[in-house]
């Protein structure tokens, strides 16, 4: 049995389980587009907030990042974490799209990552996913 068949069977079983457990409006597998859109806005809003307080100068970048993280831990530190984990979740979604052969959606997710988190290691990982 090929990897593709195994993954499709696993996804089919997960989809059937979710269909039994959740109503259609709450089924996470039927809401992947909405989840991606939600993650996009989390990344965008947190990125804008962080950029406002981030000093992009060569000599002050580290100091401003430390100030955001420690002096503003209630907003800056939390938003840095939220920004990072929402980006990681978007990478997972993009990989899932690739495995499900939804290449257009995977490309959209990667484009959002490139615009908001251009050095994220997951961008390369998503491009390298090949299902046989």
pLDDT in tens, 81-127: 898 899 999 888 888 888 777 788 888 888 888 887 788 888 888 88
Record the pTM. Answer: 0.69
pLDDT per position as a tens digit, 1-15: 677 788 778 888 888
Predicted pLDDT at 1: 61
Q: Where are the beta strands (DSSP E) in the chain?
A: none
d(CA 64, CA 79): 15
Measure the CA–CA gap between 111 and 106, rounded to whole angstroms. Answer: 9
30: which 2 tokens?
A: 């039927």
């Amino acid at each position: 049995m090929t990897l593709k068949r195994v993954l499709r069977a696993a996804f089919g079983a997960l989809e059937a389980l979710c269909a039994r457990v959740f109503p259609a409006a709450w089924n996470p597998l039927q809401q992947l587009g909405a989840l991606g859109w939600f993650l996009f806005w989390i990344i965008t809003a947190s990125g804008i907030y962080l950029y406002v307080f981030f000093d992009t100068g060569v000599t002050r970048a580290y100091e401003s990042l430390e100030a955001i993280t420690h002096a503003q831990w209630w907003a800056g530190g939390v938003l840095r974490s939220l920004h990072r984990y929402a980006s990681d979740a978007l990478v997972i979604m993009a990989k899932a799209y690739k495995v499900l052969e939804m290449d257009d959606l995977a490309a959209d997710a990667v484009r959002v990552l490139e615009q908001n988190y251009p050095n994220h290691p997951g961008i390369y990982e998503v491009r390298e996913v090949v299902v046989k």
